[in-house]
Structure 1
Amino acid sequence: MAAAYGVLANGGIYMQPYLVDSITLPNGQVQKTEPVEMRRVVKSETTKLVTDMMVEGATI
Protein backbone atom coordinates (compact mmCIF):
# COMPACT_ATOMS: atom_id res chain seq x y z
CA MET A 1 0.00 0.00 0.00
CA ALA A 2 2.84 2.38 0.84
CA ALA A 3 4.44 1.70 -2.54
CA ALA A 4 1.18 2.64 -4.29
CA TYR A 5 1.02 6.00 -2.50
CA GLY A 6 4.73 6.45 -3.20
CA VAL A 7 4.02 6.19 -6.93
CA LEU A 8 1.52 9.04 -6.59
CA ALA A 9 3.99 11.12 -4.59
CA ASN A 10 6.79 10.48 -7.11
CA GLY A 11 4.79 11.55 -10.15
CA GLY A 12 4.14 8.02 -11.41
CA ILE A 13 7.62 6.56 -10.92
CA TYR A 14 7.91 3.40 -8.83
CA MET A 15 10.82 3.51 -6.41
CA GLN A 16 12.01 0.30 -4.78
CA PRO A 17 11.08 0.51 -1.08
CA TYR A 18 13.92 0.35 1.43
CA LEU A 19 14.11 0.24 5.22
CA VAL A 20 17.64 1.36 6.02
CA ASP A 21 18.52 5.06 5.68
CA SER A 22 22.20 4.69 6.53
CA ILE A 23 24.78 2.25 7.88
CA THR A 24 27.39 3.31 10.43
CA LEU A 25 30.57 1.25 10.14
CA PRO A 26 32.74 0.35 13.16
CA ASN A 27 35.23 3.07 12.16
CA GLY A 28 32.46 5.70 12.35
CA GLN A 29 32.06 6.13 8.59
CA VAL A 30 28.43 6.54 7.53
CA GLN A 31 27.20 4.95 4.31
CA LYS A 32 23.92 6.42 3.06
CA THR A 33 21.47 4.31 1.11
CA GLU A 34 19.39 5.82 -1.68
CA PRO A 35 16.10 4.63 -3.19
CA VAL A 36 16.41 2.89 -6.54
CA GLU A 37 14.20 4.18 -9.36
CA MET A 38 12.60 1.15 -10.97
CA ARG A 39 10.31 2.38 -13.75
CA ARG A 40 7.45 4.69 -14.68
CA VAL A 41 4.19 2.88 -13.95
CA VAL A 42 1.68 5.72 -14.34
CA LYS A 43 1.69 8.90 -16.41
CA SER A 44 2.43 12.01 -14.37
CA GLU A 45 -0.86 13.53 -15.58
CA THR A 46 -2.73 10.55 -14.11
CA THR A 47 -1.04 10.92 -10.74
CA LYS A 48 -2.09 14.58 -10.66
CA LEU A 49 -5.71 13.65 -11.40
CA VAL A 50 -5.78 10.89 -8.76
CA THR A 51 -4.15 13.14 -6.16
CA ASP A 52 -6.67 15.91 -6.89
CA MET A 53 -9.54 13.40 -6.51
CA MET A 54 -8.14 12.22 -3.18
CA VAL A 55 -7.94 15.80 -1.92
CA GLU A 56 -11.50 16.53 -3.09
CA GLY A 57 -12.78 13.36 -1.42
CA ALA A 58 -11.15 14.35 1.85
CA THR A 59 -12.56 17.88 1.82
CA ILE A 60 -16.20 17.01 1.09
Structure 2
Amino acid sequence: MASKLFAGFGVLCLLLAVVVGVGVSRLQASQADLTDVSTNGMTSIEAVSELDQLVAGFTLPRS
Protein backbone atom coordinates (compact mmCIF):
# COMPACT_ATOMS: atom_id res chain seq x y z
CA MET A 1 0.00 0.00 0.00
CA ALA A 2 2.76 2.45 0.91
CA SER A 3 4.65 1.72 -2.31
CA LYS A 4 1.57 2.62 -4.39
CA LEU A 5 1.22 5.84 -2.44
CA PHE A 6 4.85 6.76 -3.04
CA ALA A 7 4.57 5.82 -6.72
CA GLY A 8 1.48 8.04 -7.09
CA PHE A 9 3.25 10.88 -5.33
CA GLY A 10 6.25 10.42 -7.65
CA VAL A 11 4.01 10.57 -10.71
CA LEU A 12 2.40 13.78 -9.42
CA CYS A 13 5.83 15.30 -8.80
CA LEU A 14 6.88 14.37 -12.33
CA LEU A 15 3.74 15.95 -13.79
CA LEU A 16 4.34 19.07 -11.72
CA ALA A 17 7.89 19.29 -13.09
CA VAL A 18 6.56 18.98 -16.65
CA VAL A 19 3.97 21.73 -16.06
CA VAL A 20 6.61 24.02 -14.56
CA GLY A 21 8.95 23.35 -17.49
CA VAL A 22 6.25 24.17 -20.03
CA GLY A 23 5.31 27.31 -18.10
CA VAL A 24 8.88 28.57 -17.98
CA SER A 25 9.30 27.86 -21.68
CA ARG A 26 6.13 29.81 -22.52
CA LEU A 27 7.22 32.72 -20.32
CA GLN A 28 10.57 32.88 -22.11
CA ALA A 29 8.78 32.95 -25.48
CA SER A 30 6.49 35.72 -24.23
CA GLN A 31 9.48 37.69 -23.01
CA ALA A 32 11.13 37.38 -26.41
CA ASP A 33 7.93 38.62 -28.11
CA LEU A 34 7.66 41.52 -25.67
CA THR A 35 11.27 42.51 -26.29
CA ASP A 36 10.66 42.41 -30.05
CA VAL A 37 7.57 44.60 -29.77
CA SER A 38 9.27 47.09 -27.47
CA THR A 39 12.29 47.50 -29.74
CA ASN A 40 10.73 47.26 -33.21
CA GLY A 41 7.23 48.44 -32.40
CA MET A 42 8.33 51.58 -30.62
CA THR A 43 10.30 52.68 -33.67
CA SER A 44 7.11 52.85 -35.75
CA ILE A 45 5.25 54.64 -32.96
CA GLU A 46 8.02 57.22 -32.75
CA ALA A 47 7.90 57.68 -36.53
CA VAL A 48 4.13 58.21 -36.45
CA SER A 49 4.54 60.71 -33.61
CA GLU A 50 7.14 62.66 -35.59
CA LEU A 51 4.89 62.64 -38.65
CA ASP A 52 1.98 63.85 -36.54
CA GLN A 53 4.08 66.74 -35.24
CA LEU A 54 5.13 67.66 -38.78
CA VAL A 55 1.54 67.59 -40.03
CA ALA A 56 0.42 69.69 -37.08
CA GLY A 57 2.92 72.36 -38.15
CA PHE A 58 1.28 72.82 -41.56
CA THR A 59 -1.70 75.09 -42.02
CA LEU A 60 -4.14 74.95 -44.88
CA PRO A 61 -4.41 78.09 -47.00
CA ARG A 62 -7.71 79.87 -46.55
CA SER A 63 -9.63 80.92 -49.61
Q: So what's the TM-score if we normalise by structure 2?
A: 0.29
Tell me: higher relative CO, structure 1 or 2? Use CA pairs within 8 A at least 6 residues apart.
1
Give the structure with the larger helix fraction.
2
How does the TM-score come out when normalised to structure 1?
0.30
Highest Rg: 1 or 2? 2
